[in-house]
Amino acid sequence: MEARIGEQQAVIARLEAELAHSRKVFDRASAAAQIGVWECELADSSLRWTDVVYDIFELPRGSALDRARTLECYPPATREELERIRSKAIEGRAGFCLDAEIVTLRGNRRWIRITASVECIDGEPVRIFGMKQDITAEKTATLRLRTMAEFDSLTGLANRSRFQALIGGVAAEGLEASAVGAVMLIDLDRFKDVNDDLGHVVGDDCLKEVGRRLSLLALRSDCVARIGGDEFAVVFGPQTPHEAVMRLGAAVVRLMQRPILAAGRRIHIGASVGIAFSRDGRGDALYGHADTALYAAKAAGRGTVRVFEGQAGDAASPSGKGESRA
């Protein structure tokens, strides 16, 4: 009997050693991949985390966990979304995956990927568990690529690709898809002389200052873009009153008449502005209409604002009543 007990104890010890080794291997793999495991008991909301999750949230390993305190690490909108999909998952006995931004205990911002599944006993959900992974590097790389693809590297404004996507009906920040109220095109006067006489370095400094001025003038909900060498654009949402667009056009002309300091020189350029208003919230035809108005502004002596007044189906031409001189 004693021999048999000794054999059983040896088997138990061997299994415990194998389990400890497996846990160590898992912990190492988890730490290397920055993936932590968590679970939450639905009865009392008690939490259990592996060390990686503690590290992600920058909490002392093994410290007491409080779900309400943990939720405070998420911005309010993210917190509401997390609670919504969590409740839906529990109700449907399903899982979910969510990328969320957090602010750690030390005040650092990180992105994490949360995956979760619901465990049931006799058909009733008893706990929710899953993994949390630090994806900050992935999000940063994605943002960098998006910035390169959609924003002008010189001025930091939206580029032509983003501008065309927006007026073509693709959703962007501040504007709904296919909801464009007006397009304003801005072409710098005498800018070619700056490049030819003073060089492209001075010219680039001028473009940066133009971009800065336009950003200060435009409303927060408007998209300001550099769509060509010395051509800029502003896309307005449908909620922007026509009078506000016209005032901004006149303000652009006045502001661009002020000298720009570049390379120790006072550079004098100027701007012409063409505006087209949408009648149905669609922006796909507005670029051509605004370009027609811009051409009329430059033909009128530059430093002017012109508004496209052609009716749908008419030849693109600005009418006299829509013209205004800054």
- DSSP helix/strand/coil, 86: helix
The reply to whether 230 belongs to the active site is yes
Tens of pLDDT, residue by residue over 117-128, are 999 999 899 999
98 strand-pairing partners: 114
Residues 63 and 90 in one domain: yes
* In a domain? residue 146: no
Q: What is the pLDDT of residue 238?
A: 85
User: Which residues form the domain of 25?
Assistant: 1-31
pLDDT at 248: 93
CA distance 172 to 146: 13
pLDDT at 29 over 80: no
Residue 145 above 50 pLDDT? yes
Instruction: Provide the angle, in degrees to the nearest 10, between the axes of the packed helices 286-299 and 160-167.
Output: 120
Residue 38's domain is classified under what CATH number?
3.30.450.20
Q: What is the largest CA-CA distance in the chain?
A: 110
Are 15 and 43 contained in the same domain? no
Domain count, the chain: 3
- For the stretch 224-253, pLDDT in tens is 999 988 999 999 988 889 999 999 999 999
Tokens of 270: 């100027």
Position 326 scores a pLDDT of 39
- Residue 128 and residue 232 in one domain: no
pLDDT of residue 21: 42
What pTM, to 2 d.p., does this model score? 0.60
The answer to whether position 145 is within a domain reads no
Same domain, residue pair 233 and 101: no
Structure tokens at 210: 């133009």
Query: What average pLDDT score do residues 149-177 get?
Result: 76
Do residues 19 and 38 share a domain? no
Give the C-alpha separation, 43 to 109, whole Å.
31
144 within some domain:
no
**pLDDT level of residue 319 (50, 70, 90 thresholds):** very low
| Annotated active-site residue in 152, 189, 222, 230 | 230
Please count the residues of the chain.
326
Looking at residue 27, its pLDDT comes to 54
- At 188, which CATH number? 3.30.70.270
Q: Report yes or no on 121 lying in a domain.
A: yes
pLDDT at 15 over 70: no
| 171 lies in the same domain as 244 | yes
Same domain for 278 and 224:
yes
Q: Does residue 307 lie in a domain region?
A: yes
CA 196 to chain centre: 37
Residue with token string 């909801």: 179
Residue 306 vs residue 21, higher pLDDT: 306
Note whether 201 and 293 are same-domain residues: yes
Residues 16 and 62 in one domain: no
Residues 61 and 23 in one domain: no
- Give me the pLDDT at residue 313, please: 36
One domain, residues 20 and 48: no
191 and 292 together in one domain: yes
Q: Is residue 178 part of a domain?
A: yes
Q: Considering the chain, what is the average pLDDT of its residues? A: 82
Per-residue pLDDT tens over the stretch 51-107: 999 999 999 998 998 898 899 999 999 999 999 999 999 999 989 999 999 999 899
Q: Which of 97, 119, 139 is the last residue of a domain?
A: 139
